[in-house]
Structure 1
Amino acid sequence: MNANPEIAQAGAAAEAAPRRTASVIFAGSVGNVVEWFDWSVYTTFAIYFGKQFFPAENDTASLLATFAVFAVGFFMRPLGGWVIGGFSDRFGRRAALTLTIMMMAGSSLLISVLPTYATIGVLAPVLMTVLRMVQGLSVGGEYGAATTFLAESAPAKRRGLYGSFLFFSIAAGLLLASGLAVVMTNVMSKEALVAWGWRIPFFIGGCGSLAGFWMRRNVGETHAFEQLRRSGRIERRSLWWTWTQHRTAVLRLVGISVLGAFSFYLFISFMPIYAIRHAGATPADAFLASTLSIAIFMVAQPFFGALSDRFGRRPQLMVFAVAYLVFLYPVVRSIGPSMTSMLLVECFGLLTYGLYSAIAPAIMAELFSTAVRGIGIGAAYNLVVALLGGTTPYLMTWLQSQQREGWFLAYVCAGAAVSLFAYWRMPETVGKPLE
């Protein structure tokens, strides 16, 4: 007996849907894994290659010069968000994703074979700075491109879940970089790491980016952008035009992002150092607690994304802001040297932050129309991160040296109040189709 063709087609579509979901999520997030792996190994291995590119009278001076180049790359992120965001609005999300991952692949591979100061003199730090600037452009562009791709590829009722894999993949990249550092420092001598071992993670990251490019090249364009292209409404939009025509959306994104920018760098970048210097924790325990909390944060992302699809974006965001406003100061100040104390403090910070990070891509995409989504998200978000998140470790370190670290926590609480106001005023957009 012949099967009903309509039933057969429905069955084929049902089987294809999970495969398409997996491929879309993988294509949108795989680049983040390798991008953040490449971005992180610079700081992780800076202690080994710093003096080879930035020779100075002492190790501290070399390390400071190395981190100055990190800062230069960091402040390239807004430019990357602007330029590559505009590129994605004109040529497509897929084109932007392939561009960012190739930029990261090329720069990482070149760093892995870059001659040192002893070989080519002052050209060595100049080239390292230029390559790090390219990485900053890539990371800045990747966030906006991946956010728009995941959000535009998602069904309206599952946008929170799809978008949650952005920070899932960022956390995965951070964990891979940290894990590689643990392995290499245990199997290689310090002399070998200084001489040539530091090149290995950059080479691995570059090859990983090339693999990510190969995986992304066959992914389809988003339906929202294809509709825009077919309608003939694609135009070059300047940053100024975006600001004047979408001022409310830009200001809302800034308000929404303030607390998130503080939280990420406070709990992922600085908290282990704070535990060591303030609470007397051992470095091994502090970094183990940090690694465990990041792993827990990563696993929680899809759950929080799906939760917002069911109950809405605003309730999660307001819980996040209220928790920081009320509990951040006493919780952070209570940190002790024990593993349990550090892990509890880190989990408080990262799991409450996870309520925001899991749904940030969906919220940001819902603020803008398809025509300006790339530049709107990329430029505004990366500017907030550069100004607030990028200065968090420095400000916290300086205030701690003055025994006034409580001032910074009060500063973050003020940021929580700003974001709480933005969350309270924003409309609920869960389940609504993108414009």
Structure 2
Amino acid sequence: MTALLPYTFEEKRKRIFAIVAASSGNLVEWFDFYVYAFCAIYFAPAFFPKSDPTAQLLNTAGVFAAGFLMRPIGGWLFGRIADRHGRKNSMVISVMLMCVGSLMIACLPTYASIGAAAPVLLLLARLLQGLSVGGEYGTTATYMSEVAMRGQRGFLSSFQYVTLIGGQLLAVLVVVILQQFLTEVELKAWGWRIPFVIGAVTAVVALLLRRTLHETTTAESRSNKAAGSVAAIFKHHKKAFFTVLGFTAGGSLIFYTFTTYMQKYLVNSAGMSIKTASLVMTVCLFLYMCMQPVFGALSDRIGRRKNMLLFGGLGALVTVPVLTALQSIASPVAAGALIMLALAIVSFYTSVGGIVKAEMFPPEVRALGVGLSYAVGNAIFGGSAEYVALGLKSIGHESTFYWYVTGMMVLAFLVSLSLPKQAKYLHHDH
């Protein structure tokens, strides 16, 4: 069988370059997406003055819509483009869209100069970013799994989460550096624009890198009648779709619980200072990022199904004890150690999530199947994690949230039981 010939040095080099180029765009996408969250406290007054209730309403409703609605739409749109017109085209368009969104925010006139049009334009830019990031996951996961080498697919695909977390860390880093050099007044006046300019410039670099990629789909699979069709997924791959939705729901929920929500939790529930909590989370995220390739490589040895079962099983056992212990912990080091324990368990999933999903769909609906099921699960369960946690806390039932996360981990475990021992698709080269 020719498919199993060893890779030549040249082939390995090309494939590794493709992984780097694909994931560089992912890094930029997430950097741009998170920069908005970290800079919002500086630019919000410029776009959403307290005196104008409509502007304030646009602020809350808009940020909400950008996070929730645009991701599934992006997952569908870019998944369809990737399956019908090629992975490369989809990845180039998505990073271009992110570039436009960031550039728009960087150059936007404020409320003081153009009135209510300012928050509307900001919202539009944010919606473009949401659309782009919604489309990024499925296509990148698909492309990286298709281009990765046999026997190292888990390891190489794990770099998707390395760059996803890396984007988040870089966004924090840029904001921290700006805080050292600029006063709060300068940051509010113009300094907040700098990270968006950086984001737009790096998006151009990622765009140039992605244009050099070779396409992994065949003309035959792109012209297939079922290519990029939602109807085809529900007709022939319904089980795969709901399986992915099932473990994405649990995976996204626990990921957001121990990453973005954790900082607020350490401040609100454990009583840490904001500065200490930020430091703890930055160190934890950095270590978490470094763990991804290790857990990805592990899946190449023990199989993806075992990775997923360990994730669901251990996640169900550990969530309640860890969150309960964190409530009464005073030492930042002990808190960090507990969070790292939880993130190590999450790594069983995040390191191989993309490839597990990609292995469940045939090439003609792969990007759409992965992108849409992920985006829906992520928007509903991941995106709402903070709201649910804070909502339950406000009515005095904080511990109910711990059990909710645990319940979703049990679901992820049960869904993982139905995973095939051997991947149906993608077990050999194209």
What TM-score bracket applies, with the shorter chain setting the length?
Answer: over 0.9
Tell me how far apart the structure 1 counterparts of residues 323 and 410 of structure 2 sit (CA, whole Å): 18
Q: How far has the Cα of 1:319 moved from its partner?
A: 1.4
Q: How far has the Cα of 1:152 moved from its partner?
A: 0.8
* 8 A Cα contact 2:250 2:381, kept in partner: no
Equivalent in the alignment of 1:342? 335
Amino acid corresponding to residue 134 of structure 2 in structure 1: G
Question: What does 1:39-78 correspond to in 2, within 5 Å?
Answer: 39-57=33-51, 66-75=59-68, 76-78=70-72
* Structure 2 gap ranges (5+): none
Aligned to 2:295, which of 284, 288, 304? 304
**1:228 pairs with 2:225:** no
* 8 A Cα contact 1:167 1:357, kept in partner: yes
SS in 2 for 1:427: coil
Equivalent in the alignment of 2:250? 259
Tell me how far apart the structure 2 counterparts of residues 28 and 203 of structure 1 sit (CA, whole Å): 21
Q: Quick one: structure 1 residues 298 and 234, their matched pair in 2 at CA, closer, same or farther if it must change by over 3 Å?
A: farther
Tell me how far apart the structure 1 counterparts of residues 55 and 255 of structure 2 sit (CA, whole Å): 27
Tell me how far apart the structure 1 counterparts of residues 89 and 244 of structure 2 sit (CA, whole Å): 24
SS in 2 for 1:157: coil
Aligned to 1:359, which of 336, 339, 352? 352
Q: Quick one: structure 1 residues 398 and 62, their matched pair in 2 at CA, closer, same or farther if it must change by over 3 Å?
A: farther
Q: Quick one: structure 1 residues 362 and 236, their matched pair in 2 at CA, closer, same or farther if it must change by over 3 Å?
A: closer
**1:376 pairs with 2:353:** no
Q: Quick one: structure 1 residues 184 and 62, their matched pair in 2 at CA, closer, same or farther if it must change by over 3 Å?
A: farther
Q: How far has the Cα of 1:234 moved from its partner?
A: 5.7
Q: Quick one: structure 1 residues 118 and 165, their matched pair in 2 at CA, closer, same or farther if it must change by over 3 Å?
A: same
* 8 A Cα contact 1:148 1:365, kept in partner: yes
Equivalent in the alignment of 1:3? none
Q: How far has the Cα of 1:367 moved from its partner?
A: 0.6
TM-score, reference length from structure 2: 0.93
Aligned length: 421
Tell me how far apart the structure 2 counterparts of residues 90 and 420 of structure 1 sit (CA, whole Å): 33
Equivalent in the alignment of 2:279? 288
Amino acid corresponding to residue 112 of structure 2 in structure 1: A
Question: What does 1:32-431 correspond to in 2, within 5 Å?
Answer: 32-57=26-51, 66-75=59-68, 76-222=70-216, 225-226=217-218, 228-229=220-221, 232-233=223-224, 235-335=226-326, 336-429=329-422
**1:432 pairs with 2:423:** no
* 8 A Cα contact 1:228 1:370, kept in partner: no
Aligned to 2:21, which of 24, 27, 41? 27
SS in 2 for 1:281: coil
Q: How far has the Cα of 1:78 moved from its partner?
A: 0.2
* 8 A Cα contact 2:48 2:111, kept in partner: yes
Q: Quick one: structure 1 residues 350 and 63, their matched pair in 2 at CA, closer, same or farther if it must change by over 3 Å?
A: farther
Q: Quick one: structure 1 residues 307 and 132, their matched pair in 2 at CA, closer, same or farther if it must change by over 3 Å?
A: same
Q: Quick one: structure 1 residues 211 and 369, their matched pair in 2 at CA, closer, same or farther if it must change by over 3 Å?
A: same
* 8 A Cα contact 2:221 2:363, kept in partner: no
Q: Quick one: structure 1 residues 323 and 236, their matched pair in 2 at CA, closer, same or farther if it must change by over 3 Å?
A: closer
Amino acid corresponding to residue 252 of structure 2 in structure 1: A
Q: Quick one: structure 1 residues 355 and 174, their matched pair in 2 at CA, closer, same or farther if it must change by over 3 Å?
A: same
Q: How far has the Cα of 1:279 moved from its partner?
A: 1.2
Q: Give the percent of matched residue pairs that are identical in Structure 1 and Structure 2.
A: 34
Q: Quick one: structure 1 residues 219 and 202, their matched pair in 2 at CA, closer, same or farther if it must change by over 3 Å?
A: same
Q: Quick one: structure 1 residues 238 and 15, their matched pair in 2 at CA, closer, same or farther if it must change by over 3 Å?
A: closer
Q: How far has the Cα of 1:201 moved from its partner?
A: 0.5
When the two chains are superposed, the root-mean-square deviation of aligned CA atoms in Å is 2.1
* 8 A Cα contact 1:281 1:338, kept in partner: no
Tell me how far apart the structure 1 counterparts of residues 156 and 56 of structure 2 sit (CA, whole Å): 39
Q: Which moved more, 1:22-31 or 1:76-85?
A: 22-31
Amino acid corresponding to residue 302 of structure 2 in structure 1: F
Q: How far has the Cα of 1:17 moved from its partner?
A: 3.6
Amino acid corresponding to residue 117 of structure 2 in structure 1: L
Instruction: Report Cα offsets for 1:122-180 as digits up to 9, x if no partner.
Output: 11111111111111110011111101100111233222112101001001101100111
Q: How far has the Cα of 1:63 moved from its partner?
A: 7.7
* Structure 1 gap ranges (5+): 1-9
Q: How far has the Cα of 1:398 moved from its partner?
A: 1.6
Instruction: Report Cα offsets for 1:4-60 as digits up to 9, x if no partner.
Output: xxxxxx99x7432442232111112011110000000111010010111111149x9
Amino acid corresponding to residue 190 of structure 1 in structure 2: E
Tell me how far apart the structure 2 counterparts of residues 236 and 115 of structure 1 sit (CA, whole Å): 42
Equivalent in the alignment of 1:5? none
Q: How far has the Cα of 1:327 moved from its partner?
A: 1.5
